[in-house]
Amino acid sequence: MAAPGTEAAGRPIAAGDARREPDPAVELDGLGRAYGERVVLRDVTLALEPGRTLLVLGPNGAGKSTLLRILATLLRPHAGRARVLAHELPREGWAVRGRIGLLAHEPLLYRDLSGRENLRYQARLFGAPEARVGELVERVGMARRADEPVRTLSRGMVQRLAICRTVLHRPELLLLDEPLANLDPAAAELVEPLIGRTAGATRLLTSHDPAGALARRSRSRPWRCSA
Amino acid sequence: MYGKGLRPLSLASAATLTAAFALVFFYAPNDADQGFVQKIFYVHVPMAIVALGGFVAAGLMAIAHLRSGDRRWDVRSYVAIHLSLILAIGVLVTGAIWAKASWGHWWVWDEPTLVSFLIIFLLYATYQPLRFSIENPERQARYASVFAITAGAFVPLNFIAVRLAQAYTHPRVLSTTGGNLPGSMRLTFLVALAGMALLYVTLWKYEMASKHASAQLRALRRKLAGEEPPLPAGRSAAPSLAAPAQPVP
Amino acid sequence: MALFSLTTFVIFHFGLHRTSLSGDLAAGVLWVTLLFAAMLGVNRLFVAEHEQGGFDAFLLAPVDRSALLVAKAAALFAYLVIVELVAVPAFFLLLAGPSPGQALPDLLWILLLADLGVAVVGTLTSALAIQTRARDLIGPLTALPLLIPVVIAGARATEPLLGANGAGAVPLKWAAILGLYDVVFALLSYAVFDFLLED
């Protein structure tokens, strides 16, 4: 396991420090973000304890993906504070980068490379062992097609590879943007141990489909946003 | 805040420029070789120096923008480049006139300063298209600053390369160090240079003041209209001074 | 791209109506061809990242962001060397008169020195242009003026090597300018590249 500093989020509370709550894995205070003069996020405040799951619901364009991109250090917040895994964003983004897994709308895979090549490249970037690539590809049922260029695969297959990419480095915090999009029930079953509640990571999920998503939440919280 | 001191500054630049023109026409002697047409030198060279100074200053402002993240520095850098580009066109035109008058050709390749200037002009001419083709205003500001810094550093380097590449085959009024100018010519030149620099600063402040005023106007309109921010009509290469919309409680 | 340079040599042959070139004309044809071949590479350099999400994938990783600059500049450098491996022999074969024997070693190190500068500036301008809507235009429009000193220095340095009466000595002044250019733009790119990746 190569991600440095894995102790921070799952840290057992020290004996002399028993009254202290564990640091929230995600802590937002008045977070805001705009594109030009269009405000996308306004005054988002929330805290998410380690090991819990937060479901973010909202229609298309509500700013769900923007929120995830801020937490993944890809976007700067314009207002308010954001703390992720006990580090202030965006200043200490470097410290949390290897400990977050982002499953975005785009698979973030090179279409001209095969799934296995993509994952090996990512494994080297994240310092994850290459053996993990074969193991993950096997677990999502992609072993047979993993050597074909990503552009030839169906969207469900690409999504499975993207999930492999997300959990390659065993992140402590999973940021999942509509994780089951394009997946058939059998595939959803396959990826459940990797990104589901049993995966052991703190999770932040988004969905535009309350009925399906609520079945998988452990807590949900309304928040205001403007599109 | 940008309007402050604008009136004395305008008066000072008008006075200095008038003085410079008076000196050019009534005080400075005609050049022995080139005659009357050499007097374009008092417009051409100060304009070139000020334009280059503006480009380099824009690079420094862009550094300030990237270091501080303060978008106002980007606007300052934009205005500086904008004005320098206009001066640069003036430099190329007056240079061509001077070349035609003293050497008989509109364009001469062995005048290193002019050639360098053309290259720098061509480079900076991409600045506005670059801005225009990036829609996200923050990214536009950041990319424009990267461009301004790169181009600002390129200005001196380019001059070294081009100057070395040319042989000095033509008579030059001002040697590379500017040392051997007769006293009366030098005085006139310095006054003209000061006038041009003042003019540049004045115009810069005017444009900043205008941008500041329109930003305030927009903010007031927004207040009147309520929550809905009126989007600026169409896309623009010109940055505006309005701060990114603040979250309203 | 090597094919592009071959075609360009043929075009120069007809455009200039010469069967063999030497001296400054030869140096000019060689450098202009290489520069425009480089532009093809510059335009493509970040397309895969831009279109396939490679930027985000890279930014999520716990690695120094300058690694992308170094990697891409190295890729562009390798591309330029490969193009030259074909283009330079073809140039001597098709256009340059005298045998290249004695000129070759000097020509090689000057080309490599220039490639370094082209690779760095090309990477920077390519990253600058990739996020714009008119990237095919903005890229070369920014890169070409910035690379004029490389062409000046490269052409002046190699001009004596391509003389009609055999190779002369390389003017070291020009090699020094190429080196200075490489150093200045390498440092500059290193300093500003991060700002092209952030959002």
Nearest residue to A150 via CA among A97, A108, A90, A195: A108
Rg (CA), chain A: 17
**% of chain B with per-residue pLDDT over 70:** 82
Burial A128-143, CB ≥16 within 10 A → b, else e: beeebbeebbebbebe
Whether the CB of A35 is below 8 Å from some CB of chain C: the reply is no
Q: Which of A35, A42, A80 sits opposite B136 (nearest CB)?
A: A35
Confidence of residue A227 (pLDDT cuts 50, 70, 90): very low
Q: Residue A205 domain-assigned?
A: yes
H-state helical runs in C95-130:
104-130
Contact A156, A120 (CB under 8 A): no
Question: How large is the C-alpha radius of gyration of chain C?
Answer: 18
Interface test with B, best of A28, A31, A37 (most B CBs within 10 A): A37
d(C-alpha A145, C-alpha A115), whole Å: 8
Q: What's the rounded mean pLDDT across residues C114-127?
A: 94
Specify whether the CB–CB gap between A158 and A109 falls below 8 A.
yes
CB A207 within 8 A of CB A54: no
**ω before A90 within 30° of 0 (cis)?**
yes
Residue C145 in contact with partner chain A when CB distance is under 8 A: no
Q: Pick from B57, B37, B150, B203: which is nearest to C189 by CA?
A: B150
pLDDT (average), residues B166-180: 47
> Mean pLDDT for chain C?
86
Question: Does the beta-carbon distance from B231 to A38 stay under 8 Å?
Answer: yes
Confidence class of residue B144 from pLDDT cuts 50, 70 and 90? very high
DSSP string, A107-167: ----TTSBHHHHHHHHHHHHT--THHHHHHHHHTT-TTTTTSBGGGS-HHHHHHHHHHHHH
* Across B169-191, average pLDDT: 62
pLDDT of residue C99: 63
- Closest-CA residue to A127 (of A99, A107, A108): A99
Average pLDDT on C6-26 reads 83
Could you say which DSSP state residue A58 is in?
A: -
Query: How confident is the model at residue B55, as a pLDDT?
Result: 94
- Those residues whose C-beta lies under 8 Å from the C-beta of residue C144, and which sit 6 or more positions away, are B122, C35, C39
Residue in chain C nearest B142 by alpha carbon:
C195
Of A30, A35, A37, the CB nearest to B247: A30
A203 pLDDT higher than 70: yes
Contact residues, chain A to chain B, C-beta under 8 Å = 30, 32, 34-39, 42-43, 78-80
Average pLDDT value for residue range A107-117: 89
Q: pLDDT for A136-186, tens place per residue? A: 888 888 888 888 898 898 888 899 899 999 988 888 888 888 888 888 888
Phi, psi values for residue A110, rounded to 5°: -75, 125
Name the amino acid, one letter, at C19. Answer: T
Residue B141 resides in a domain: yes
More confident residue, B23 or B162: B23
* Confidence at residue A209, expressed as pLDDT on a 0 to 100 scale: 67
Q: What tokens does A110 get? A: 């090179």
* Alpha-carbon distance C145 to nearest alpha carbon in chain B (angstroms): 5
Interface of C with B (CB under 8 A): 124, 128-129, 131-135, 137-138, 141-142, 144-146, 148-149, 152-153, 156, 173, 177, 180-181, 184-185, 188, 191-192, 195-196, 198-199
Q: Is B181 exposed, middle or buried (0-12, 13-18, 19+ CB in 10 A)?
A: middle
Residue B130: closest CA among chain C residues belongs to which residue? C138
Q: How many CB atoms lie within 10 A of CB B18?
A: 11
Measure in Å the smallest separation between the Cα of B136 and chain A Cα atoms.
Answer: 7
Nearest CB to B157 within list C137, C181, C199: C181
Q: Is the pLDDT of residue C158 over 90?
A: no
The distance of B151 to chain A (nearest Cα, Å) reads 26
The answer as to whether A52 is a domain residue is: yes
Question: Which B residues in the span 146-205 are in contact with C, Cβ-Cβ below 8 Å?
Answer: 146-147, 149-151, 153-154, 157-158, 160-162, 164-165
Q: Which of B66, B93, B165, B84 is CA-nearest to residue B123?
A: B84
Of A32, A35, A37, the CB nearest to B247: A32
* pLDDT top residue among A201 and A20: A201
How high does pLDDT run on average in chain A? 78
Nearest CA in chain B to C184: B153
For A89, residues 6+ apart whose C-beta sits below 8 A from its C-beta are A70, A71, A73, A77, A82, A83, A96
**pLDDT tens digits, residue range A8-23?**
333 333 333 444 556 7
Interval A43-94: pLDDT, tens: 888 888 888 888 888 777 778 888 888 888 888 888 888 888 888 877 788 8
Instruction: Give the pLDDT mean for C9-29.
Output: 83
3-state secondary structure of A30: strand
Provide Rg for chain B, Cα atoms: 21
CATH assignment at residue A70: 3.40.50.300
* A213 found inside a domain: yes
Band of residue C182 on the pLDDT scale cut at 50, 70, 90 = very high
Residue range B72-102, pLDDT digits in tens: 899 999 999 999 999 999 998 988 888 888 7
Residues C86, B100: Cα–Cα separation, whole Å: 45
Question: Would you give the DSSP letter of residue A199?
Answer: G
Question: What pLDDT is recorded for position A213?
Answer: 55
The one-character DSSP state at B35 is B
Chain C: list its partners (3+ Cβ pairs within 8 Å): A, B
Given a cut of 90, whether residue B113 has pLDDT beyond it is no
Buried/exposed B132-154: b ≥16 CB within 10 Å, e otherwise: bbbeebbbbbbbbbbbbbbbbbb
CB within 8 Å: C192 and B162: no
Looking at the predicted structure, is the pLDDT value of residue B171 above 70?
no
Q: Please state, for a pLDDT cut of 90, what percent of chain C lies above it.
A: 30
Q: Is residue A3 part of a domain?
A: no
Please count the structural domains in chain B. 1
Query: Is B147 or C171 the better-scoring residue by pLDDT?
Result: B147
Q: Where are the beta strands (DSSP E) in chain A?
A: 26-35, 38-48, 53-57, 79-84, 87-89, 100-103, 173-177, 202-207, 219-220
Q: Is C21 helix (H, G, I), strand (E, B) or coil?
A: strand
For residue B166, the model assigns a pLDDT of 62
Q: How far away is chain A from the Cα of C98, in angstroms, using its nearest Cα?
A: 44
Does the structure show a pLDDT above 60 at A194?
yes
pLDDT 10s digits, B215-248: 888 888 877 876 555 555 455 667 777 544 443 3
Residue (of B113, B116, B123) closest to B149 by Cα position? B123
Q: Which amino acid is at B155?
A: V
- Which residue range forms the structural domain that includes residue A52? 23-220
- Between the two ends of chain C, the Cα-to-Cα distance in Å is 33
Tokens of B115: 């050639």
For the cut 90, the answer to whether the pLDDT of residue B56 exceeds it is yes
Q: Which residue of A lies nearest to C67 if distances are taken between CA atoms?
A: A125
Nearest to C152 among B129, B135, B162 (CB): B162
Residue B169 pLDDT > 90, yes or no? no
Mutate which of C69, C152, C185 to test chain B, going by most B C-beta atoms within 10 A?
A: C152
Tell which wins on pLDDT, C187 or A75.
C187
Which residue in chain B has the smallest CA separation from C173?
Answer: B164
Per domain, the residue ranges of chain C are 2-197
So what's the pLDDT on residue A22? 67
- Contact C62/A126, CB-based, under 8 Å? yes
- Give chain B's mean pLDDT: 81
Residue A14 belongs to a domain:
no
pLDDT at B125 over 80: yes
Q: Is the pLDDT confidence value at A225 over 50?
A: no
Q: Give the tokens for residue A174.
A: 């999973």
What does the pLDDT read at residue A6? 32
> Domain range for residue B100?
6-27+34-170+180-214
Given pLDDT bands bounded at 50, 70 and 90, which one contains residue B178? very low
> What is the band of C145 on the pLDDT scale with cuts at 50, 70, 90?
very high
Q: Does C60 touch chain A (CB under 8 A)?
A: yes
Give the pLDDT confidence score for residue B181 in this predicted structure. 66
By the CB < 8 Å criterion, does C56 face chain A?
Answer: yes
A170 contact C CB<8A: no
* Closest CA–CA distance from residue B164 to any residue of chain C (Å): 9
Total domains, chain A: 1
pLDDT one-digit tens code per residue, B7-19: 888 888 888 888 8
Chain C nearest C-alpha distance from B140 (Å): 9
A227 occurs within a structural domain:
no
Q: Which of A101, A174, A121, B214 is nearest to C60 (CA)?
A: A101
Q: Judge whether A98 is closer than 8 Å to chain C, CB to CB.
A: yes
